[in-house]
Structure 1
Amino acid sequence: MTAKPEAIIISSAGRRLYLIDWFREAFDALGVEGRVIVAENDPTSSSASYGDVSRSLPKYDDPDYGPELMRLVVEFDPRIFVSANDYELMHVHVNSGLANSLRDRGVLVPGVSAAWQAGCADKLQMAKMLASIEVPTPATVSGADDQGIDELSAQTDEFVVKHRFGSGSSGLRVVSADHVRQAVTEASLSAPSAGGHSGTRDDVAVQPKLPGTEYGVDIIGSLTDSGMLSGVLARRKVRMRAGETDKAVTVDPAPFTRIAERIAEVSDLTGLIDVDVFVDDFGGASVIDINPRFGGGYPFVHLAGADVPLYYLAQVLGVDIGESWNRYELDVVSAKYESIRVTG
C-alpha cells in the first residue's frame, strides 16, 4: 500500500502565494513527499487554486466552518494548520475551541495562548498586557476616553489613531492633537467591533506617535516546547503600502532578543509571530503591534536566507536541520512587486 503523502493546510493565504511555494520547497529540501492543502472561502482568490490540493471552506464565522475544517483534517491528516487571517485565527484559538480539537488529532496549530490571541486582537488590551510584562509599548487609550486623550495631549503633539480591533493597519491615521477627536469619530464609522455592533469611539485606539525608526521582527518559538525562543528575524521598514511592508532591509536581530524572549515565554509561543517595533535615537525599542501569524514582512528575511517553513516541517517530522534556518544575510534590500494570475 502506498504511503499517504505528508500534508499541511494553509488557510486564507489570499495573495501570499510565496508562502505556499516556500512550504513546497521545504518538503523538497527535506526529501519528503508532501502536499500543501490550500483552503479558501473565496474560490476566485489568488491562492484558491494554487495549492497542490485546493478546497473551499465556509467563512470562519459560518456555523459550518468548524465541521468542514475537521472533515478536511480527516481527509488529509495534515501535520500543520496555518492561517494568514487575523479574524480566522481569533475564531480558531479563542471563540470556537477548534485549535484544541485540531491538536487532539495531532495537528500543530502555531500561535500564542488563547489569552494572548485575544490580546493581540484588541490593541488596548495588548498595550496593557505588554506593560504588565515590562515590555515597552506606547501609552494607549480608547477613543472614548476623553480624560486619557487629554492627558496624552499634555505630553505629545502627534497621535496615531487606528481601529482597536482592526487588522492590517485598518483605520490608521496620524493627526495633530487638535484633530485627534475628529479622527476618532471618523475612524469609528468604519471600525470593526468585538461584539459585532456598529463601531463606536470605544472601538478606536489612540496612541502618541513615537519618534524613531520602524522595524518588523519575527519571533519564532519552538513547535515542541511552548514558550521557548528558537529564533529572531528582523528588518528595517523602508516603505509601507496598504498597511504592509513594501520595501525593507534586513538587520541584526540581536537588539530585539530580550523583548522576543519575554514575549515568547509569557505568551506560550509556538511558531512565528510578527511584531512591529519602533526604535528611538537612543536604541530604546517599543512594541506597537503583534500579529500572531506569518506577516507581510517575513518575505524580506526569507529572501536573505532564513527559512521558517523548513523549520516548521523539520520540527513536526523530527528532522534535525541545525540552526541554519534562522540565519540570513544582513543589509539585503528587497521590494515587493505586482503579479496576476487567472483564478476563475
Structure 2
Amino acid sequence: MHATVLVSSAGRRVGLIDCFRRSASAAGIDLRVLACDLEPELSAACQAADRAYAVPRCDDPGFIDALLRIAADADVDLIVPTIDTELGPLAAAAQRFRTIGTQVHVSPVPVIDVVRDKLRTTEALDAAGVPVPWAIPMEAARAASDQVSWPAFLKPLSGSASRGIRIVRSADELPAEPDEPMMLQQLLVGPEYTVNMFIDATGSLRSAVTHRRLRVRAGEVEKGRTERDPLFRRLAEGVARALPAARGVLCFQLIIDESAGPRVFEINARFGGGYPLAHFAGAEYARWLLEELVGLPSTAHDSWRAGALMLRYDAAVFAG
C-alpha cells in the first residue's frame, strides 16, 4: 500500500513530517513525503523530505498552479497545508485537485472564511454556545471608546503567529492608519491552552487533546503538557457545532481568565505547531488521515495520555 503526501509551506515542520512517517510505518503504508516552500534550500522540513520543490508565496496568483503541477507530476495523494494564509486558496481550489486525484487536507470555503476572520469566529462560536471574549472592530472602539473596557488586546482580523498583536490602554494608543483591518478583544489573564481536534470524514469529532501552553515563542508552543478535563471536551464539541462542515485536523486556543472563566478566542483549521505533542500522547491524527486516504479501518480514539510533556529545543539540519 503506497501514498504520497506533500507538506505545503513546510518551513520548520520536521516534527510533522516525522509524525507522518511513523504513522505510515505503523499502519503498513509505504509513504513518500514531499515538501515545498518559497526557498526549499533554506527550509529544514524540505531538507528532511524525500523531495522538495520551490513554489511562489501562497498569495501569489501562481501558487495553486505550481502545486497542481507538482501534484500531477509526482502523483500526490494528499496535500497538507501548515499555515493559515494558504488555507483560503487551497479550499477554493480543492475541486481542481480532486480532478487529478489529489486530496487537500482543508475544510470547505465557508469554514475557512469564518476561521480566517477573528470577528466572525467570535460570532460563530457565541452562536453555538461557546464562551468567547468580547470583540469589536477597532474603528468601532475608537468611536465609542468610553464604552470599552480598557486595557484591551489589539490584533489583526486575520492575523497569525502573533503578528501585530499588543495591549492598548486607551483609544489614544490605537494606530491611526493600520496596515490591515484590526480588532479589539477583551484582555484575558490566566493559563492558556490549545485543544487539538480530529473530525473524521463523516463529521464526527473523534478526538480532542488539550495541552497547556507553558511557554510560547513567536506564537507557537515551546513547552507544553497535555491535560484532561471534561471542560475541554465540551468546548471542542461546541467548536464542532459552530463549524459543522469542518473536517480533519483543527486546533483552537483558550484562556481560563481569572475573572471571566474559559474563553475561546482563536481557531486554526490545520495542524497546529504543537501537534507533535498530541501525537506523542497517543492521538495520532497523521495516521488517522492516512487511514482515511488509503481506505484502511480507522483507529481513531480519544484515549490519549494526560501529563505528556513537550520541551522544544533548537536543532540544525545540515546540507551540502
Normalization by structure 2: what TM-score? Answer: 0.90
- 1:85-124 alignment to 2 at 5 Å? 85-93=83-91, 97-124=92-119
**What is the aligned counterpart of 1:42 among 32, 39, 42?**
39
Q: CA deviation at 1:15?
A: 0.8
2:289 is aligned with 1:327: no
Which whole-Å deviations, capped at 9, do the CAs of 1:212-265 have from their partners, x for residues lacking one?
Answer: 32110011100x21x321110101111111111111111015322233223224
State the match for 1:312 in structure 2: 289
Change (3 A) 1:170 1:148: farther
- 1:1-344 alignment to 2 at 5 Å? 5-43=2-40, 44-93=42-91, 97-145=92-140, 146-153=142-149, 157-176=150-169, 178=170, 180-182=171-173, 184-185=174-175, 189=178, 199=179, 203-222=181-200, 224-225=201-202, 227-252=203-228, 254-267=230-243, 268-280=245-257, 284-323=261-300, 326-342=302-318
Normalization by structure 1: what TM-score? Answer: 0.84
Q: CA deviation at 1:105?
A: 3.6
**Segment drifting more, 285-294 vs 246-255:** 246-255
Return the alpha-carbon distance in structure 1 between the equivalents of residues 300 and 247 of structure 2: 17
Q: CA deviation at 1:11?
A: 0.5
Question: What amino acid sits opposite 1:250 in the alignment?
Answer: T
Unaligned 5+ runs, structure 1:
190-198
Asked whether the equivalents of residues 48 and 343 of structure 1 are also in contact (C-alpha less than 8 Å), the reply is no
Equivalenced residues, count = 317
Change (3 A) 1:122 1:75: same
State the percentage of identical aligned residues.
Answer: 29
Return the alpha-carbon distance in structure 1 between the equivalents of residues 102 and 172 of structure 2: 46
Change (3 A) 1:220 1:282: farther
Q: CA deviation at 1:312?
A: 0.9
Asked whether the equivalents of residues 19 and 279 of structure 2 are also in contact (C-alpha less than 8 Å), the reply is no
Change (3 A) 1:253 1:316: farther
Which whole-Å deviations, capped at 9, do the CAs of 1:37-68 have from their partners, x for residues lacking one?
Answer: 11112122222232112122222233322222
Q: Which of structure 1's runs of 4+ aligned residues deviate more than 6 A?
A: none
Unaligned 5+ runs, structure 2:
none
Question: What amino acid sits opposite 2:29 in the alignment?
Answer: V
Change (3 A) 1:148 1:286: farther
Return the alpha-carbon distance in structure 1 between the equivalents of residues 66 and 229 of structure 2: 40
RMSD: 2.3
